[in-house]
Amino acid sequence: MCFCPHFSIRSCLQPISLLFIPPSTSTTTVTDQEMPLHHFIFSFLTLAFCPTSSVAAAASKEQTLNTQDAEFFNPKLPPRTLSSSKRFEGSSNLVDLRYHMGPVLSSSPINIYLIWYGRWSLSQKLLIKDFITSISPSATPSPSPSVSEWWKTVSLYTDQTGANVSRTLVVAREHSDARYSHGYHLTRLSVQQVIATAVKAAPFPVDHRNGIYLILTSHDVTVQDFCRAVCGFHYFTFPSMVGYTMPYAWIGNSGKQCPEVCAYPFAVPGYMGGGGPGALLPPNGDVGLDGMISVIAHELAELTTNPLVNAWYAGEDPTAPTEIGDLCEGLYGTGGGGGYIGQVIRGRKGRTYNMNGNKGRKFLVQWIWSPALKACAGPNALD
């Protein structure tokens, strides 16, 4: 489930942990089944705390703070009456994120097996891989705020032995399926068939202990519920489909299909015209890819802390868990919540970001729930 949305309440879809998207203006339901009553109650309680934020400290500053080559800005700060809390954005004592005794990905390094489904350019692949490699600590660290600092919050989560989620992620192997071996439309089950094909053809190893299988679909591939209800999801493979149980995630490129839904705030829905903030310039000049990177970050954070859907999540129903990314979706900086993305950074060319990566890359990545602060947190926090 997802609370603290970008600009509207997201739909909930089971049985897979999802990065949810805002509903359209249509009244058509996008859920697979009716949401239990306790989910509605929990979402109401959480949403009630989304607008409260820690802008009190930041509010005393200028809305625009100049730095050497960029400026902090917020396209629309919330009223001060909604910003009296001195805690981090999204904080709430009512969020009951608990550990359910399952494994986390603590073995180092975490091996990512990339599956490029469809046609991808070299520059697109390099951008995504640069983000993934930016997560790990480096001998020459990126300037703060950095992607590696953002991942420190993920690494605070532990298993029952006290072992933390690994700080190191590497792209172990890649497989390109430019021939669309399973067609131009994928279902949730055929996504697993794509993994099975990659395991046989690459060949990818069967990496139970510290492997993640990351399926990325190009802009011309449609996926079940993509744009309508989800932008990405994670789960684990079925032995009957792949032969083994392995954690995986899927994320699609929304650039041609629904950028206003899955690449927000780099594109905004038409119904927001006039009243809300306009679309922001993406840090790498690609609305679809830049929006996709935040979804990848969301899914990697949740997949490493809840790989078999029995570790870290809130709520009582493991088929519809609220995970560490769901709790903070739509939050990118100080002052965020209730539809406000928060204080972020604008470069000299007007491009928007909140984290630095390797090779001078810049990214806009959502915050995640901190078990220490019991609130959403990110490395670009101003308070």
Domain boundaries, the chain: 103-258+286-326
**Which pLDDT does position 71 carry in this prediction?**
74
Percentage of residues of the chain with pLDDT beyond 90? 63
How are the residues of the chain apportioned to helix, strand and coil, as percentages rounded to the nearest 5? 25, 20, 55
Give the distance, in angstroms, between the CA of residue 107 and the centroid of all CA atoms in the same chain: 22
Q: Which position has the token pair 């992607």?
A: 147
Distance of CA 352 to the CA centre of its chain: 17
Which residue(s) pair with 98 in the sheet?
313
pLDDT value, residue 93: 61
How far apart CA 307 and CA 20 sit, in angstroms, is 18
User: How far is Cα 332 from Cα 343, in angstroms, rounded to an integer?
Assistant: 7
- How many whole angstroms separate alpha carbon 229 and alpha carbon 41? 21
CB 193 within 8 A of CB 241: yes
Question: What tens digit of pLDDT does each residue of 302-350 get?
Answer: 999 999 999 999 988 888 899 999 999 999 999 888 778 999 999 989 9
- Stretch 91-100: mean pLDDT: 79
SS3 73: strand
Q: Are 358 and 169 in contact (CB under 8 A)?
A: no
Nearest-10 crossing angle of helices 147-154, 122-134: 60
User: Does residue 324 contact residue 154 with C-beta atoms inside 8 Å?
Assistant: yes
Dig out the tokens for 134 from the structure: 């930016």
Give the end-to-end CA distance of the chain in Å, rounded to a whole number. Answer: 28
Predicted confidence at residue 206, as pLDDT, reads: 86
Residues contacting residue 130 through CB under 8 Å, at least 6 positions apart: 357, 358, 359, 361
* Under 8 Å between Cβ of 248 and 264: no
pLDDT band at residue 229, thresholds of 50, 70 and 90? very high
Please determine, looking at this structure, whether the domain spanning 103-258+286-326 carries the CATH number 3.40.390.
yes
pLDDT band at 3 (very low <50, low <70, confident <90, very high): very low
Residues 6+ positions from 100 with CB-CB distance below 8 Å? 310, 311, 312, 313, 318
Cα–Cα distance between 162 and 106 in angstroms, integer? 10
The one-letter code for the residue type at 358 is N
Instruction: Report the amino acid identity of residue 127.
Output: L
Which whole number is the average pLDDT over 122-143? 96
Q: What pLDDT, on a 0 to 100 scale, did the predictor assign at position 125? A: 98
Mean pLDDT within 266-293: 87
| 33-53 pLDDT, tens digit each | 333 333 333 333 333 333 333
CA distance 98 to 178: 41
Residue whose entry in the numeric block shows the structure tokens 């927001």? 272
Q: Are 349 and 359 in contact (CB under 8 A)?
A: no
- 2 near 322, Cβ under 8 Å? yes
